Amino acid sequence: MTTALTLDRITKRFGGLAALQEVTVQIASGDITGLIGPNGAGKTTLFSIIAGKTRPTVGRVLCFGHDVTGWSAHAVCRLGVCTTHQVVRPFGDLTVLENVRVGASFGASGRLGGRTAEEEAGEILTFVGLAHRRDSLASALTLAQRKRLEIARALATRPAVLLLDEVLAGLTPAEIQQAVELVRQIRARGITIVMIEHVMRAVMDLSDRVLVLNYGRLIADGSPAVVANSPQVIEAYLGEKISES
Amino acid sequence: MRSSLRLELVAALAVGLLLAAVPMLIPGNITLLNLGILTFLYVAQGVAWNILGGFAGYVSFGYAAFFGLGAYTTALLWLAGWSPVLTYPIGGLVAAAFSLLVGAPTLRLVGPYFSIATIGVGEAMRILMLNLDKITGGASGLNLPTVVPSKTWFYFVALICAATSYAVAAWIRTSRFGLGLTALRLDLEAAESLGVRTTLFKNLAHIVSAALVGACGGVYATYLQYVHPDTVFSFTLSISLVLIALIGGLGTVWGPVLGAVVFFVVQDYLQTSYPTFHLLVYGLLLLVIILFEPGGMAGLAGRLVARRRGASAGPPAADPAPHAEHERAPMPRADAERPGTERTT
Amino acid sequence: MFTTQNLVSVAIAALLTAGLYAVMSYGLAIIYGVMKVINVSNAGFLMLGAFMTLMYFQWWHLDPVAGAVLNLLPFFGAGWLVYKLLVRRVVSARPIATLLLLFALWLVIQNVALAIWGSDDQSIITAYTYKSLIVGGFRLPLTRLIVFAVALLALSLLHFVLGHTYVGKALRATVQDPQAALLVGIDTERISALAFGLGTALSGFAGSLLTLLFSFTPDFGGPFQLKSFTIIVLGGLENFAGVTVGAAVLALTESFAVLFMRASLQNVIAYGLLVVALIVMPGGVAQLWARTRS
């Protein structure tokens, strides 16, 4: 089992506020890792640090052995680590296909020309189940479809590691079921997945391993069953029994 | 999409050839040649400006700096005995170098702040040049050699400028580079996270368009045989390019072509009676366009065509306006870290 | 050349100018604060303010200071209308659309003025234009003193309105957090219209004062507008108190730079400062200060 991502003592302070403190973790290649925690725990900040959107105050990020701390977001993406956005950000004026073409033309897949990029984009749209909307404007999609588009665009960059930030939030139970299935299929392609999620049943179902952040600290790390029963985690969620939420 | 693109290119080629034949078809008409030369130069610049302003969405009010640098480079080299033709590309290079110098820091600014900074840069250049009288001739300008090629020669050179701009813009529009520019215009952060080298692309777009405008400046200098800081670095010129592209249609290749033709015809018509009246007309037109038709004339035309085809989802007009997702820019820095962005629900 | 006497008199002249600069930029800061809109049409209203003052002077021999006060109401109305009829329609779209709209408005105002008044230099000569006072060995032009005093008065009044009236407080609340302001029941739409009116009124007011010190043409708003940007950027954009700081910084820099270079290069300083300030200190001088202290 190789290591896809290594976070080494990541600390991030905004002024006096510590959003992340000494987070150290290694993500195994091929796993689905769930990242959970209460609001404001620092999950999205951690993602932006990995993706190169924010610099950590202290600490290092290693992707496949490369120290990518301080790299810009596009460089991290081309190395094979792609992030989806919590609030989906499709290019509203482009068609669904063109949106995905951006990922295919610029990501880790390298310099794909017009035709190849377009074919690649078409295949990915079929894979995520958006082929029927390929020529619609992205702004015309439903929320569930936009989330799929967000994933499709990221997949088009041919990532080795995919960071999914709340792709299930706001979906109906039926849509969640479909999205969970999609995440499984993505993993079956050999892509390492780290996902921030609040829909507990889905995270517990999907993840090989769950990390829990609270007030910027990693308070639990283990299999879903172990984490769900950890007293610290239960306390962090104020006694809520998380397996039922 | 692809077939309509091919159609557009064939049409452009046909128009180009037709224009090239004009001096042969209607020989000896100096007025027509003059009209052609200036219009082509406007077309070339409007189309070039649009590469950064329309495709990448960075509206610059400072392009006169590039035009002026090109004009003065050509003027000085010509005075030093160079053949004019050789000096045009060099003028373009000088403009390109300057665009890199000012673009590298200013293109980090978010939209409107970039625009304001370009006004500062453009005007500062004009005043500096006025004061460098040893080099630029200052307030009296520079008289250039009187032995010049014929009007027909200039007509072709200006036509070549317009054609080059058009070809470069058309190529960019369909290329991977163009896709990257569109992506970064629509959402810089999303584009970046999909692997688009946004900083590099913005600067490349700036450099390419500055080079084209710089070369036009050179042609203009040789054509007029006179350069003056207040004319070649004028703010009015910078504004003209913005107006041409916006009124023609941002983000399309042929919108600025249309815009430039209309602009120059209106200007030429009103020039004698009232020299800046066309700016009033254009200001009003711009108001109407921003309020009602953000796609400009090209957008309007596209919409009319789409309606005639029974609204069969025509190509979307690249817009300077709608879409609520675009947040208002709170701070001038694009890459300033925003604390507390975590907004987990 | 650099005697203490000299330096002090340059500093005094700079400070006197700073008062006018602050009034001229305050409107821009208010509009920016409330709507995050860069009001380029300000240049047009500055110029219009100057020309209206010229008209009052020609028609009724009205002093420019009185003209400045007279300008307040009509310019407030004009700004209100500009917001209601134009800005409101595009302000939620991409910021560049608003900038271009206001820019178009400026072009229209400027060229209408050209059509009416032509491009000749205009100036207003009052009975006290060439008089000066000798204070403590320094010769101070009376016009500058008057402009400074009026500006100071206007700033104090503005400060009072913003700080102690309901409208002023609502306006400042909107600047700090529009969403929260909306939640506590402030009609932000009305505040925006009000801010535009107030900002424009201040431009008209400042335009009048400018006529006491400078000659003017329909083109003259532009350079002052750019200086106003420089000032509010230096001041930290949303920071009203920063406007005064920015005005002082710009006026001092300009005045002292002239000791070292040609006077005709003075505007280059302002524009250069604008670009540099935008790039290196998005939070203005105050932020730079805070940074060095922490």
The model's pLDDT over A107-123, given as tens digits with 9 standing for 90+, comes to 876 666 667 888 889 99
Report the gap between the CA of B167 and the closest CA in chain A (Å): 18
Return phi, psi of residue A14, to 5°: -105, 105
- Residues of A whose CB is below 8 A from B342: 19, 40, 42-45
- Nearest residue of B to residue C87 by CA position? B291
Asked if B187 lies within 8 A of A89 by C-beta distance, the reply is yes
Among all chains, which residue has been given the structure tokens 């200071």? C65
Distance CA C24, CA B27 (A): 57
Alpha helix stretches (DSSP H) within chain A? 43-51, 73-79, 96-106, 114-128, 143-156, 173-188, 200-206, 224-228, 231-236
Secondary structure of C99-164 in HEC code, one letter for each residue: HHHHHHHHHHHHHHHHHHHCCCCECCCCCCCCCEEEECCEEEEHHHHHHHHHHHHHHHHHHHHHHH
C118 touches chain B (CB under 8 A): no
Query: Which secondary structure element, helix H or strand E, spans residue B266, and what is its range?
Result: helix B255-271
- Residues of C whose CB is below 8 A from B124: 267-268, 271-272, 275
Q: Reduced to 3 states, what is the DSSP secondary structure of residue B129?
A: helix
Report the gap between the CA of A51 and the closest CA in chain B (Å): 7
The model's pLDDT over C1-34, given as tens digits with 9 standing for 90+, comes to 567 777 888 888 888 889 999 999 988 999 988 8
Look at residue B345 and tell me whether its pLDDT is greater than 80.
Answer: no
Please name the amino acid found at residue B58: Y
Look at residue B344 and tell me whether its pLDDT is greater than 50.
Answer: no
Look at residue A212 and tell me whether its pLDDT is greater than 80.
Answer: yes
Query: Which domains are delineated in chain A?
Result: 1-76+198-245 (3.40.50.300)
pLDDT of residue C108: 93
The model's pLDDT over B230-266, given as tens digits with 9 standing for 90+, comes to 999 999 899 999 999 988 888 788 889 999 998 888 8
For chain A positions 100-159, those within 8 Å of chain B (CB to CB) are 101-103, 105-108, 111-114, 117, 135, 137, 139, 153-154, 156-157
Asked if A106 lies within 8 A of B176 by C-beta distance, the reply is yes
The closest alpha carbon to A56, from A67, A41, A66, A45, belongs to: A45
The model's pLDDT over B162-172, given as tens digits with 9 standing for 90+, comes to 999 999 999 99
Nearest to A54 among B180, B199, B337 (CB): B337
pLDDT of residue A147: 92
pLDDT of residue B226: 92
Domain boundary assignment for chain C: 12-220
Contacts of C270 (CB under 8 A, 6+ apart): C223, C226, C227, C230, C250, C254
The model's pLDDT over A118-149, given as tens digits with 9 standing for 90+, comes to 888 999 999 999 999 989 999 999 998 999 99
Query: Which secondary structure element, helix H or strand E, spans residue A81, and what is its range?
Result: strand A81-83
C5 touches chain B (CB under 8 A): no
pLDDT of residue B145: 85
| Least confident residue range of A31-45, B9-23, B94-108, B270-284 | B270-284
Mean pLDDT of the A195-221 span = 90
How sure is the predictor about B331, in pLDDT bands with cuts at 50, 70 and 90? very low
Return phi, psi of residue B129, to 5°: -65, -35
Mean pLDDT of the A192-200 span = 91
Say what the ipTM of the complex is.
0.88
Distance CA C254, CA C234 (A): 14
Q: Which of B328, B331, B333, B338 has the most C C-beta neighbours within 10 Å, making it the best mutation to test the interface with C?
A: B328
Domain boundary assignment for chain B: 2-308
pLDDT in tens, chain C (294 residues): 567 777 888 888 888 889 999 999 988 999 988 888 889 999 999 999 999 999 999 999 999 999 999 999 999 999 999 999 999 888 877 778 888 899 999 999 999 999 899 888 998 888 888 888 887 777 788 888 899 999 999 999 988 988 888 888 888 888 888 888 888 888 888 899 999 999 999 999 999 999 998 899 998 888 898 899 899 888 887 778 888 889 999 999 988 888 888 888 888 888 998 888 888 876 666 565 555 444
Cβ burial A77-109 (10 Å sphere, 16+ → b, else e): bbbbbbbbbbebbbbbbbbbbbbbbbbbbbbbb
Look at residue B59 and tell me whether its pLDDT is greater than 60.
Answer: yes
Distance CA C190, CA C275 (A): 33
Q: Which two tokens stand for residue B278?
A: 């066309």
| Least confident residue range of A34-43, B2-11, C12-21 | B2-11
| Least confident residue range of A152-156, A186-190, B135-139, B294-298 | B294-298
Asked if C93 lies within 8 A of B279 by C-beta distance, the reply is no
Hey, which residues does C133 pair with through a beta bridge? C140
- Nearest residue of C to residue B330 by CA position? C36
| B253 to A163, A209, B12, B22, B271: CA distances (angstroms) | 37, 52, 10, 23, 28
pLDDT of residue B325: 35
For chain C positions 72-101, those within 8 Å of chain B (CB to CB) are 86, 89-90, 92-101
Q: Which two tokens stand for residue B280?
A: 């009033």
The model's pLDDT over A43-70, given as tens digits with 9 standing for 90+, comes to 999 999 999 999 999 999 999 888 999 8
Contacts of B97 (CB under 8 A, 6+ apart): none
Cβ burial B15-48 (10 Å sphere, 16+ → b, else e): ebeebeebbeeeeeeeeebeebbbbbbbbbbbbb
Contacts of C280 (CB under 8 A, 6+ apart): none
| C258 to A139, C4, C112, C251, C253: CA distances (angstroms) | 55, 16, 35, 11, 9
Contacts of C25 (CB under 8 A, 6+ apart): C227, C228, C231, C232, C235, C243, C246, C247
pLDDT of residue A161: 94
Hey, which residues does A12 pair with through a beta bridge? A20
Mean pLDDT of the A151-174 span = 91
Tell me what percent of chain C is helix, strand and coil, each rounded to the nearest 5: 80, 5, 20
Distance CA B117, CA B62 (A): 9
Mean pLDDT of the B135-139 span = 86
Question: Do the Cβ atoms of B229 and B83 come closer than 8 Å?
Answer: no
pLDDT of residue C75: 96
Pairing between β-strand A3-14 and β-strand A17-28 as defined by DSSP bridges: antiparallel
User: Which of the 8 DSSP states describes residue B80?
Assistant: T
How sure is the predictor about B110, in pLDDT bands with cuts at 50, 70 and 90? confident
- Residues of C whose CB is below 8 A from B279: 107, 110-111
CA angle C250, C42, C190 (to 5 degrees): 115
pLDDT of residue B330: 39
- Residues of A whose CB is below 8 A from B319: 93
Name the region of B138 (left: φ>0; alpha: ψ -120 to 50; beta: rest).
left
Q: Which two tokens stand for residue B334?
A: 């694009």
Distance CA A232, CA A180 (A): 27
Hey, which residues does A35 pair with through a beta bridge? A196, A211
pLDDT of residue C136: 76
- Residues of A whose CB is below 8 A from B295: none
Asked if C223 lies within 8 A of B123 by C-beta distance, the reply is yes
